[in-house]
Amino acid sequence: MRLSQAAGRRLVAGIPTAWLLLLFLVPFLIVFRISFSEVRLAIPPYTPLITWHHGSPGLELHWSAYRFLLTDSLYVSSYLYSLKVAAVSTLCCLLIGYPMAYAIARSSPSTRSVLLMLIVLPFWTSFLLRVYAWIGLLNNNGVINNVLLYLGVIHHPLALMQTDFAVYIGIVYSYLPFMILPLYANLEKHDPALLEAAADLGARPLRAFLRITLPQSYAGILAGSLLVFIPAVGEYVIPTLLGRTDQLMIGRVLSDEFFENRDWPLASAVAILILLLLLVPILLFQRVQGRELEASK
């Protein structure tokens, strides 16, 4: 009986662990290894991962992909541009999402569930189609330009598409629920008695907010910001549909190296460098997430 229970537990934990080892962890090791090979015309298009010399296996490491990445200004500027776009978008999400989450947390329980559903509903409809919808709004003959022209605010259509602005709009629009939900989960737990006490003691609303609400919500801000920032750095669809053509984001560069240039080692090296950039944010996110799940006990 005891033995079978232990075996059962091992099975329950072991099956998903084995799945993720094979389809999540091992793939990264392969990417890591291939980033150290060289491109060649073959199937698959890279030098073999293990070379055999007189029957003994050897590892040949080529640094050419990394050398190329770090010396070509195209890649460096793509990395920096991606970080900038992700940071600005995260900040915008926070500035828009915080008051929204605050208002939801302060409303009555029945309104609250309706509002939460309204926030989540767009998330359930296709991400791709929601980004696509912005093309119709931002185009030269799109809805926004037509309305502004009709109202006489402008006399020539504004160039809104293929700009940084369009990418910010797209990212903020797509990732806003990811910012609002953790913020809401945090703000909802605050005790309103603290704010009342502050008001009784003569604190102005702004001061009470800055000294009480804001510090208490740091965990929510951190979780929401990481949920937006990390995927935004590697975003592919939004900059491809809405963004500039003269400055690519790094996710697009990776995809182009892979599909257009068929340079698998270089694409792998790009991936490894993105991961290195995101290592600290990802570890931070895992800690926040782990603590959140422990706290709900």
Partner 1 sequence: MRSRGLFAYVALALGLVFLYVPIVSMIVFSFNYSRLVTVWDAAHSPTLKWYGALAHNGQILAAAWLSIRIALIAATVAVVLGTLAGTALARFGAYRGRLLLAGMSTAPIVMPEVITGLSLLLLFVSLQQLIGWPKGVGAVTITLAHITFCMAYVTIVVQSRLAGFDESLEEAAMDLGARPFKVFWRITLPLILPAVASGWLLAFTLSWDDLVITQFVAGPGSSTLPMVIFSKVRFGVTPDVNALATILVLLVASGIAISTVWMRRREQRRARDERLAAAANL
190 and 213 Cβ atoms separated by less than 8 Å = yes
- Pick out residues in 43-62 that bind partner 1 (CB under 8 A): 44, 49
254 and 267 Cβ atoms separated by less than 8 Å = yes
The closest alpha carbon to 135, from 144, 126, 148, belongs to 144
CB of 225 to partner 1, least distance (A): 11
Q: Does 181 interact with partner 1 (rule: CB under 8 A)?
A: no
Q: If binding means CB under 8 A, how many residues of this protein chain bind partner 1?
A: 96
Classified as helix, coil or strand, 39 is strand
- Pick out residues in 157-176 that bind partner 1 (CB under 8 A): 173, 176
- Pick out residues in 208-247 that bind partner 1 (CB under 8 A): 209, 226-227, 230-231, 233-237, 240-241
CA–CA separation, 285 vs 76, rounded Å?
A: 25
CB atoms within 10 A of CB 52: 9
Classified as helix, coil or strand, 52 is strand
Q: Does 282 interact with partner 1 (rule: CB under 8 A)?
A: yes
| Amino acid (1-letter code) at residue 203 | A
Q: Does 96 interact with partner 1 (rule: CB under 8 A)?
A: yes
Q: Does 118 interact with partner 1 (rule: CB under 8 A)?
A: yes
- Pick out residues in 25-44 that bind partner 1 (CB under 8 A): 25-28, 30-31, 34, 44
Q: Which of 85, 92, 104, 160 binds partner 1 (CB under 8 A)?
A: 104
Q: Does 81 interact with partner 1 (rule: CB under 8 A)?
A: no
Quick one: 49 or 91, whose CB is closer to partner 1? 49
Q: Does 122 interact with partner 1 (rule: CB under 8 A)?
A: yes
Quick one: 40 or 106, whose CB is closer to partner 1? 106
Residue 57's H or E segment, with its range, is strand 56-58
CA–CA separation, 296 vs 287, rounded Å?
A: 14
